[in-house]
C-alpha cells in the first residue's frame, strides 16, 4: 500500500514542478484568452467508490470454492493534473488505487485480495454555456491503464497457510460527467460520475485456463484541488 501511495504522490509532485515552469498568471485566469501550448489548470486529490462487476470471481470461482462472500464496491483514491489545451478543452492525467478482498472459511480459500493501480489519460469538455452560479459542468472520456495484483491465501486441512501473488496489466475506457466549483481564489471542489468499460484475462489459480473478468462498473468520486 505504501508503494502505491508513494507513486501517486510522486506523480503529483512532478505536476507541481511542471507548473512552476509553465505557469502564466494571465492566461491561467482568463479562459477566453487563446493559450499557446498547454498550461496547468489544477491539481486535485480524489476519493470515492468504485464497483467493478468482477463476474468470474463472483459468479464462478468463489461459489465453486464454497464461499458466499463476493467482491463489491470499495474505496478508490488518487489524484490528477488538469491542463488547459483550448478555452473549453482540458487534458487530464492521473493515478488511482482500488482494492477489495473476500474471505473464506474452513480448508481451501482463506483470503483473496485483488488490487488495481491505475494510470489515466483523458480529455474534458468544459463548455461556457454549462457554467452557472459559480459551478462548471463538464464531460469527457478517459483511458485507464491497469496494474493488477491478486494475492491468494490457501488454507490446508492442517491449518497451514500458503500464499500466491499474481500480476498483470490491462486497460479500460470510461465516459464521465462531472461538476466543479471554485470556492475561493484557488480552492476547487467537485464531484464526478464515470462508468468503467473493460475486462482482463485471469488465469485459473490451479489450472492454466484463462477467464475474462469484467471490470465494468460505476465510479463516483469527490475531488479537492488547487487551481492555478
Delineate the domains of the chain, giving CATH numbers in brackets. Answer: 2-26+35-227 (2.40.160.20)
- Report the predicted TM-score, pTM, of the whole model to 2 decimal places: 0.80
Task: Specify the pLDDT at position 208.
Answer: 64
pLDDT tens-digit profile of 135-147?
999 999 999 999 9
pLDDT tens-digit profile of 62-72?
888 778 889 99
Using the predicted structure, report yes or no on whether residue 49 has a pLDDT greater than 70.
yes
Mark 96-135 as b/e (b = at least 16 C-beta within 10 Å).
Answer: bbbbbebebeeeebbbbbbbbbbbbebebebeeeeeeeee
Q: How confident is the model at residue 17 (pLDDT cuts 50, 70, 90)?
A: very low
Amino acid at each position: 500500500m505504501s508503494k502505491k501511495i508513494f507513486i501517486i504522490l510522486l506523480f503529483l509532485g512532478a505536476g507541481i514542478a511542471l507548473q512552476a515552469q509553465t505557469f502564466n498568471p494571465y492566461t491561467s485566469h482568463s479562459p477566453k484568452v487563446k493559450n499557446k501550448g498547454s498550461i496547468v489548470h489544477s491539481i486535485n486529490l480524489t476519493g470515492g467508490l468504485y464497483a467493478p462487476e468482477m463476474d468470474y470471481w463472483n459468479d464462478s470461482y468463489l461459489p465453486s470454492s464454497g464461499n458466499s462472500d463476493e467482491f463489491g464496491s470499495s474505496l478508490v483514491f488518487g489524484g490528477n493534473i488538469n491542463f488547459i489545451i483550448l478555452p473549453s478543452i482540458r487534458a487530464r492525467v492521473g493515478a488511482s488505487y482500488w482494492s477489495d478482498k473476500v474471505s473464506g472459511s474452513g480448508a481451501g480459500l482463506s483470503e483473496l485480495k485483488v488490487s488495481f493501480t491505475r494510470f489515466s489519460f483523458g480529455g474534458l469538455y468544459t463548455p461556457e454555456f454549462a457554467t452557472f452560479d459559480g459551478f462548471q459542468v463538464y464531460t469527457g472520456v478517459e483511458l485507464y491503464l491497469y496494474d493488477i495484483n491478486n494475492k491468494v491465501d490457501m488454507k490446508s486441512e492442517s491449518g497451514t497457510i500458503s500464499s500466491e501473488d499474481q500480476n498483470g496489466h490491462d486497460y479500460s475506457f470510461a465516459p464521465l460527467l462531472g461538476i466543479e466549483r471554485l470556492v475561493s481564489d484557488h480552492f476547487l471542489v467537485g464531484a464526478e460520475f464515470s462508468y468503467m468499460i473493460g475486462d482482463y484475462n485471469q488465469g485459473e489459480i490451479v489450472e492454466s485456463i484463462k477467464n475474462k473478468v469484467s471490470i465494468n462498473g460505476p465510479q463516483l468520486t469527490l475531488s479537492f484541488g488547487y487551481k492555478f
